Structure 1
Amino acid sequence: MKSYNTISYDIRGAAFRVHSKLGPGLLESAYEACLVYELRKIGYKVESQKSLPLSYGEVYLDAGYRIDLLIDDLVIIELKSVKELQDIHTAQLLTYMRLSKVSLGLLMNFNVRNMQHGIKRYVL
């Protein structure tokens, strides 16, 4: 099994490649499809728009929550294509991480000039 640092490094590299080819200004879904392609090409298991049920006591609710990308069941990627990231985007990722018991998450905003400034890493 690869280390979290290796997986994170590979994901960032894939995001840089996608951003380099497409640039900013497209819909989130375009970046998602291309990132899925790049990550699968280098051997990762990628689940896109994975359903995340909400557990409340003994009740499980399908409340429509979806993880943008789940990589090797170890990393959640929350994708955005917005002018700037807001606190609510971070809260969303951290909530998804807690609900799914995944300890590493990446928040990516592709609507930036330099992708290096569009990636935030979170660890629970």
Structure 2
Amino acid sequence: MDYADLDPETKALCEATIGAPFEVSRCVGHGFLENVYRKSLLGELEDRGVPVEEEVPFSIRFKTRTVGTYFADIVVGRRVIVELKVAEAFADAHVGQVLNYLRVSGLRVGLLFNFGLPKVAFRRVIL
């Protein structure tokens, strides 16, 4: 699937979300722990009127058994997983992690933000 193939509501949620981390980065700067950025981003999204939830649980299944629970950092509009990192650069493992989260959650799109640089970086991950 491609970004262009997403439904209009999901696209609108992505677009509404993408600007918020840049405001967080501008105000907070870089070099803090992930939790600082998560709390700041939650506040910024709420201020913008974007529907957002924190620590949303999704069951991890193996065949017919539930074997664990994944807690998404942030879920926007019950359609978009937001994963935050504080790293020197994105790694393939970060994208793979978001893909796994999308599979577990049944959602189609994830936004990956890296606050470990002077200017926040992001990637869309589409399942």
User: Normalising by structure 1, what TM-score?
Assistant: 0.89
Tell me by how many angstroms 1:72 deviates: 0.8
Distance 2:8 2:89 in 1: 32
Question: Residue 115 of structure 2 aligns with which residue?
Answer: 110
- Work out whether 1:15 is the aligned partner of 2:21: yes
Correspondent of 1:5 among 5, 8, 11: 11
User: Normalising by structure 2, what TM-score?
Assistant: 0.87
**Residues 72-112 of structure 1, C-alpha deviation per residue, up to 9 Å, x if partnerless?**
11000110011112111111100000111111101110111
Q: Counterpart amino acid of 2:118?
A: R
RMSD after superposition: 1.6
Distance 2:8 2:25 in 1: 24
Partner-residue secondary structure (3-state), 2:81: strand
> Quick one: percent identity of the two aligned structures?
30
On the 8 A contact 2:56/2:71 being kept in 1, the answer is: yes
Question: Residue 125 of structure 2 aligns with which residue?
Answer: 122
Correspondent of 1:57 among 63, 88, 106: 63
Q: Counterpart amino acid of 2:54?
A: S
Question: Residue 36 of structure 1 aligns with which residue?
Answer: 42
Number of matched pairs: 121
Structure ranking higher in strand proportion: 2
**Residues 27-62 of structure 1, C-alpha deviation per residue, up to 9 Å, x if partnerless?**
100000010111112222222122222111221122
Q: Counterpart amino acid of 2:41?
A: L
Tell me by how many angstroms 1:2 deviates: 6.0
Partner-residue secondary structure (3-state), 1:62: strand
Q: Counterpart amino acid of 1:119?
A: F
In structure 2, stretches of 5+ residues that fail to align are 1-6
In structure 1, stretches of 5+ residues that fail to align are none
Question: Residue 92 of structure 2 aligns with which residue?
Answer: 87
